[in-house]
Amino acid sequence: MRHASTVGAVSDDSAELGNLVLTTTREGTSVLVAIAGELDAHSAPSLEELAAGLRSDGYVHFTLDMSQTTFIDSSGLRSLIELQNRLKENGDGALVLQAPADPVTRLLRITGLGEHFAVK
């Protein structure tokens, strides 16, 4: 995992996992996770593991930048739903999908889950 500084943020980490790159920027109790590449059955567990670690470190406000997500399947969607549910368990968490790419918006529309997530 590479570490670098980002202005105004605590840290910026990037990990390449096959066809997926996850980059985190942390500030306060908020975290921005950029998801670039394919979020599928092979790579979704990496996002789940990252999110679990961030939650255990006290991050409760997640923004997922999905502008560079080139593919998402039902496993990736399940990961998003699971994260949303975990964040809502304590009542103080939130999940926002930022700038979802066409494959993401298409899957949300097909599954009828577009209204389930906050999208900006």
pLDDT digits (tens, 9 = 90+) for 32-83: 999 999 999 999 999 999 999 999 999 999 999 999 999 999 999 999 999 9
Write down the pTM of the prediction: 0.86
- CATH number at 35 reads 3.30.750.24
- Sequential DSSP letters for the chain: -EEE--TTSSEEEEEEETTEEEEEEEETTEEEEEEEEEESTTTHHHHHHHHHHHHHTT--EEEEE-TTEEEE-HHHHHHHHHHHHHHHHTSS-EEEEES--HHHHHHHHHHT-TTTSEE-
- The residue range of the domain holding 21 is 2-119
Asked if the model's pLDDT at residue 15 lies above 80, the reply is no
Asked if the model's pLDDT at residue 17 lies above 90, the reply is no
Mean pLDDT of 18-26: 91
Provide the domain count of the chain: 1
